Amino acid sequence: MIVAERKPMAEIIEMVKDCKKVLVLACRGCVTVCSAGGEREAEILASLLRLGMRKEGKTVETTVASLVRQCDREYIDEIDQWQGQYDAVVSTACGVGVNFISNLRKDTMVYPALNTTFFGGSANQGEWTEQCAGCGNCILHLTGGLCPVARCAKSLMNGPCGGSVDGKCEIDKDVECVWQSIHDRLGSFDRSAQMEVISPIRDWSTAGHGGPRKTVRDDLTV
Amino acid sequence: MSFDPAITLFSCHYTSQQSCAEEGKELEQLGFPSGISMVRVPCTGKLQVTTLLKAFEDGADGVYVVGCPVDGCHNVKGSARAAKRVAAVRAALQELGVEGERIEMFHLARGLHPEFVEKGKEMAERIRDLGPSPF
């Protein structure tokens, strides 16, 4: 899922300081799962906005709503039902949602309530960890299913580096050295020889270095 | 500045049983501050962050939650969950530039104990010192 976290309230309040009415728009996709921007978090944000504005001597009227997702045209259209009820939308979706609303609603000012952080998984209750960098050229079949692009601090293709100590990364003793884990996991499948294969210099153009990425599926377009 | 603070208390069914004794007069007789409005809930674990924030929106100068001891909650982890949500609200208040001490969590033994009244007095004094809510 896409993992995100709420921006500092001071930053959000600054965005809406001149608004009288705000639509706090939750997303029922990834940000609901990572408890950053679902309906519950939108209700909390709305309350904090009202309190924060009141402390500044202002009042703001909030409407809280949610969309199935904010990354599909068909769901963005649902915003029309709140037409005239807000000066701005405060989206608790990831950055994709904010962009999509901006793309599709020329007359709607939309502000981001979240900082979109990474593609990750739920490691423990209340804890999410980065697992994928969306680099566009997956090499997991060579690394035992563990991603050095996302999980190695240096995104090394030929690790581990000299900073790996007892399975931990030199940047923090609590951070796993994913190359140690790759080594151990390949070994458990009798594939340690893979560690000896030198990866060539990587072409990062698929990772966004070649500009915004786009996928078109001819079999799905009509 | 001295004032009579409005405080909202959310207490679980088990730790606030004494509030119903003597037709509700017992707490008053024990010196429980009159400015505290008590809301009894089946379990403090049911309290949501929004419920606590709404108390401030509704005019509370301070809010506190009384639940079972952490290792003795009737619903196992209810009061531990409540403590987490109280901490979340405290952090949010601080983000807004408001004293985090305006909200507190207490874990108290069930039944009629002096601590229930003492914590009420403690909160009343604390909020009186902090002054009226800035909201």
Q: Do A9 and B98 touch (CB under 8 A)?
A: no
Chain B CB within 8 Å of residue A55 CB: yes
B88 assigned to some structural domain: yes
Chain A CB within 8 Å of residue B135 CB: yes
CA atoms of B98 and A72, how far apart (whole Å): 39
For residue B52, the domain's CATH number is 3.40.50
Q: Do B95 and A9 touch (CB under 8 A)?
A: yes
pLDDT, tens digit, 9 for 90 and up, residues A27-78: 999 999 999 999 999 999 999 999 999 999 999 999 999 999 999 999 999 9
Residues of A in Cβ contact (< 8 Å) with B50? 40, 43-44, 47
The residue of chain B with its CA nearest to that of A45 is B50
Instruction: Identify the pLDDT of residue A49.
Output: 98
Closest partner CB to B135 (pick from A8, A9, A55): A55
Strands B7-12 and B62-67: parallel
Write the CB contacts of A206 (distance below 8 Å, at least 6 apart in sequence): A135, A136, A137, A213
Q: How many Cα atoms within 13 Å fall on the side-chain side of residue A99?
A: 5
Each residue's pLDDT tens digit in chain A (222 positions)?
Answer: 999 999 999 999 999 999 999 999 999 999 999 999 999 999 999 999 999 999 999 999 999 999 999 999 999 999 999 999 999 999 999 999 999 999 999 999 999 999 999 999 999 999 999 999 999 999 999 999 999 999 999 999 999 999 999 999 999 999 999 999 999 999 999 999 999 999 999 999 999 888 999 999 999 998
- The answer to whether A177 and A168 have CB atoms below 8 angstroms apart is yes
B63 assigned to some structural domain: yes
Chain B CB within 8 Å of residue A52 CB: yes
B135 assigned to some structural domain: no
User: Quick check: helix, strand or coil at residue A137?
Assistant: coil
Q: What is the CATH number of domain A2-118?
A: 3.40.50.1860
Domain definitions of chain A by residue range: 2-118, 133-207
Closest partner CB to A47 (pick from B54, B98, B134): B54
| The token pair that represents A88 in the structure block | 């701005």
For residue A170, the tally of other CB atoms under 10 A from its CB is: 15
- The answer to whether A48 and A54 have CB atoms below 8 angstroms apart is no
Report the 3 state secondary structure along A150-196: HHCCCCCCCCCCCCCECCEECCEEEEECHHHHHHHHHHHCCCHHHHH
The string of DSSP letters for chain B reads ------EEEEEETTTTGGGGGGGGHHHHHTT--TTEEEEEES-GGG--HHHHHHHHHTT-SEEEEEE--GGGBTTBSHHHHHHHHHHHHHHHHHHTT--GGGEEEEE--SSS-HHHHHHHHHHHHHHHHH-S---
pLDDT, tens digit, 9 for 90 and up, residues B13-72: 888 776 666 666 788 888 999 999 999 999 999 999 999 999 999 999 999 999 999 998
Residues of A in Cβ contact (< 8 Å) with B47? none
Strands B62-67 and B103-107: parallel
Strands across the sheet with A2-6, in order? Answer: A2-6, A114-124, A127-132
Number of structural domains found in chain B: 1
Chain A CB within 8 Å of residue B58 CB: no
Quote the minimal CA–CA distance from A43 to chain B in Å. 7
Residues of B in Cβ contact (< 8 Å) with A127? none
B114 assigned to some structural domain: yes
Chain B CB within 8 Å of residue A17 CB: no
Q: Among B51, A85, B126, B133, which Cα is nearest to B65's?
A: B51
What domain range includes position B49?
A: 7-130
B92 assigned to some structural domain: yes
Q: How confident is the model at residue B114 (pLDDT cuts 50, 70, 90)?
A: confident
Residues of A in Cβ contact (< 8 Å) with B135? 51, 54-55
Q: Tell me which residues of chain B, numbers 102 to 131, contact chain A at a CB-CB cutoff of 8 Å.
A: none
